[in-house]
Amino acid sequence: MSSTAHAPATSRHSLAADPAYQAFWILRTGFTVAPILFGLDKFANLLVDWPIYLAPWINDVAPGSAQDAMYAVGVIEIVAGLTVAVAPRFGGWLVAAWLAGIIVNLLTIPGHYDIALRDFGLLLGAVALARLAERYRTVRQPRPTQVR
């Protein structure tokens, strides 16, 4: 004899009340918006003069000027933010890797260690996002299962 049973359903209300799910959405929103805004500002330099944060050794090997390098950085950051928006399970790891590169860059510039430490905290947040995205990637309607 067989019967159909449903996996336990997670209601929208209980999911919305779940602190981990709330954290997932806070991180997803933050790691979507911030990289896009920082990426756009690489073209405008309104927040800061971004080329001062490029290590001289990177400027020496990158083609063009430091500002040209920041244009490329801006494009990468915009793409990273958009990736978090549509695929946070992958985008979280992408942002974490990008932040690791930024940290290496900053650690080679005297006087920027505080910013490198802050970016390490952001890297941890991006890893947390990727892990939470794994947990919540299949939040869908329950499927019937066969019980014998």
Could you identify the residue written with the tokens 């014998």?
Answer: 148
pLDDT in tens, the chain (148 residues): 555 444 344 666 778 888 999 999 999 999 999 999 999 999 999 999 999 999 999 999 999 999 999 999 999 999 999 999 999 999 999 999 999 999 999 999 999 999 999 999 999 999 999 999 999 986 654 455 565 5
Q: Is residue 10 part of a domain?
A: no
User: Into how many domains does the chain fold?
Assistant: 1
CB 25 within 8 A of CB 12: no
Q: Is residue 14 part of a domain?
A: no
What is the rounded distance in angstroms from the CA atom of residue 73 to the CA atom of residue 93?
17
What is the rounded distance in angstroms from the CA atom of residue 94 to the CA atom of residue 29?
15
Q: Is residue 126 part of a domain?
A: yes
Q: Is residue 22 part of a domain?
A: no
CB 100 within 8 A of CB 123: yes
Q: Which two tokens stand for residue 91?
A: 């985008």
Q: Is residue 68 part of a domain?
A: yes
Mutual angle of helices 88-107 and 19-44, in 10-degree steps? 50
Q: Is residue 23 part of a domain?
A: no
Q: Is residue 121 part of a domain?
A: yes
Q: What is the pLDDT of residue 58?
A: 96
What is the rounded distance in angstroms from the CA atom of residue 130 to the CA atom of residue 148?
37
Residue 111 belongs to what domain range?
34-137
- Give the helix, strand, coil percentages of the chain, each rounded to 5: 70, 5, 25
Closest CA to 78 of 128, 120, 118, 31: 31
CB 138 within 8 A of CB 40: no
Q: Is residue 20 part of a domain?
A: no
